[in-house]
Structure 1
Protein backbone atom coordinates (compact mmCIF):
# COMPACT_ATOMS: atom_id res chain seq x y z
CA UNK A 1 0.00 0.00 0.00
CA UNK A 2 1.38 3.34 -1.01
CA UNK A 3 2.65 5.56 1.79
CA UNK A 4 2.36 3.02 4.58
CA UNK A 5 5.45 2.12 6.60
CA UNK A 6 5.93 -1.55 7.42
CA UNK A 7 6.87 -2.43 10.99
CA UNK A 8 9.10 -5.51 10.77
CA UNK A 9 9.04 -7.77 13.82
CA UNK A 10 12.68 -6.93 14.62
CA UNK A 11 11.83 -3.20 14.93
CA UNK A 12 9.68 -3.86 18.01
CA UNK A 13 11.72 -3.22 21.16
CA UNK A 14 8.82 -4.32 23.35
CA UNK A 15 5.31 -5.51 22.54
CA UNK A 16 4.18 -5.98 18.98
CA UNK A 17 1.26 -7.28 16.98
CA UNK A 18 0.22 -10.83 16.07
CA UNK A 19 -0.12 -9.92 12.38
CA UNK A 20 1.80 -7.75 9.93
CA UNK A 21 1.66 -4.15 11.06
CA UNK A 22 2.12 -0.79 9.36
CA UNK A 23 2.27 2.87 10.31
CA UNK A 24 -0.17 5.21 8.56
CA UNK A 25 1.81 8.49 8.75
CA UNK A 26 -1.16 10.72 7.94
CA UNK A 27 -3.34 8.97 10.58
CA UNK A 28 -2.28 11.21 13.47
CA UNK A 29 -3.96 10.29 16.75
CA UNK A 30 -4.31 12.35 19.87
CA UNK A 31 -3.96 9.73 22.59
CA UNK A 32 -1.85 9.60 25.70
CA UNK A 33 1.60 7.97 25.41
CA UNK A 34 0.74 5.55 28.24
CA UNK A 35 -2.06 4.14 26.06
CA UNK A 36 0.34 3.43 23.21
CA UNK A 37 2.97 2.00 25.54
CA UNK A 38 0.48 -0.24 27.34
CA UNK A 39 -1.52 -1.48 24.40
CA UNK A 40 0.98 -1.66 21.59
CA UNK A 41 4.58 -1.57 22.71
CA UNK A 42 7.66 0.33 21.62
CA UNK A 43 9.44 0.49 18.26
CA UNK A 44 12.95 1.63 17.40
CA UNK A 45 13.42 5.40 17.29
CA UNK A 46 14.60 5.26 13.65
CA UNK A 47 11.20 3.91 12.65
CA UNK A 48 9.48 6.72 14.56
CA UNK A 49 11.73 9.26 12.82
CA UNK A 50 10.77 7.78 9.44
CA UNK A 51 7.05 8.04 10.28
CA UNK A 52 7.39 11.65 11.50
CA UNK A 53 9.29 12.61 8.33
CA UNK A 54 6.58 10.97 6.20
CA UNK A 55 3.89 12.89 8.11
CA UNK A 56 5.73 16.21 7.65
CA UNK A 57 6.06 15.49 3.91
CA UNK A 58 2.34 14.66 3.71
CA UNK A 59 1.40 17.93 5.43
CA UNK A 60 3.57 20.04 3.14
Structure 2
Protein backbone atom coordinates (compact mmCIF):
# COMPACT_ATOMS: atom_id res chain seq x y z
CA UNK A 1 0.00 0.00 0.00
CA UNK A 2 1.20 3.46 -0.84
CA UNK A 3 2.28 5.61 2.09
CA UNK A 4 3.10 2.78 4.48
CA UNK A 5 6.51 2.88 6.15
CA UNK A 6 8.34 -0.45 6.34
CA UNK A 7 9.87 -1.34 9.71
CA UNK A 8 13.15 -3.14 9.03
CA UNK A 9 14.23 -5.56 11.76
CA UNK A 10 17.21 -3.32 12.60
CA UNK A 11 14.92 -0.42 13.54
CA UNK A 12 13.59 -2.23 16.60
CA UNK A 13 15.51 -0.98 19.64
CA UNK A 14 13.75 -3.58 21.77
CA UNK A 15 11.10 -6.16 20.94
CA UNK A 16 9.81 -6.65 17.41
CA UNK A 17 7.40 -8.67 15.33
CA UNK A 18 7.68 -12.19 13.90
CA UNK A 19 6.51 -11.00 10.46
CA UNK A 20 7.08 -7.96 8.24
CA UNK A 21 5.66 -4.86 9.83
CA UNK A 22 4.71 -1.37 8.68
CA UNK A 23 3.67 1.97 10.14
CA UNK A 24 0.44 3.54 8.90
CA UNK A 25 1.21 7.26 9.45
CA UNK A 26 -2.38 8.40 8.99
CA UNK A 27 -3.64 5.79 11.49
CA UNK A 28 -3.24 7.95 14.60
CA UNK A 29 -5.51 7.01 17.46
CA UNK A 30 -5.78 7.24 21.20
CA UNK A 31 -6.06 3.90 22.96
CA UNK A 32 -7.01 3.00 26.49
CA UNK A 33 -4.79 0.94 28.78
CA UNK A 34 -7.18 -2.02 28.55
CA UNK A 35 -6.83 -2.01 24.74
CA UNK A 36 -3.20 -3.09 24.99
CA UNK A 37 -2.81 -6.88 25.08
CA UNK A 38 0.99 -7.01 25.14
CA UNK A 39 4.09 -4.87 24.81
CA UNK A 40 5.41 -5.09 21.27
CA UNK A 41 8.64 -3.13 21.54
CA UNK A 42 10.31 0.17 20.85
CA UNK A 43 11.43 1.67 17.54
CA UNK A 44 14.48 3.86 17.00
CA UNK A 45 13.78 7.58 16.98
CA UNK A 46 14.77 8.11 13.33
CA UNK A 47 11.97 5.84 12.11
CA UNK A 48 9.47 7.43 14.50
CA UNK A 49 10.52 10.88 13.24
CA UNK A 50 9.93 9.70 9.65
CA UNK A 51 6.43 8.49 10.54
CA UNK A 52 5.55 11.74 12.34
CA UNK A 53 6.83 13.78 9.38
CA UNK A 54 4.66 11.69 7.01
CA UNK A 55 1.63 12.29 9.25
CA UNK A 56 2.22 16.05 9.40
CA UNK A 57 2.69 16.20 5.62
CA UNK A 58 -0.55 14.29 5.12
CA UNK A 59 -2.43 16.68 7.40
CA UNK A 60 -1.28 19.72 5.47
Question: Normalising to structure 2: TM-score of the pair?
Answer: 0.85
Larger Rg, first or second structure (1 or 2): 2
Structure 1: 5+ residue stretches without partners: none
Moved over 2 A (4+): none
RMSD of aligned alpha carbons: 1.9
Structure richer in helix, relative to its length: 1
Aligned residues: 58
Query: TM-score, normalised on structure 1?
Result: 0.85
Consecutive unaligned residues of structure 2, counting only runs of 5 or more, are: none
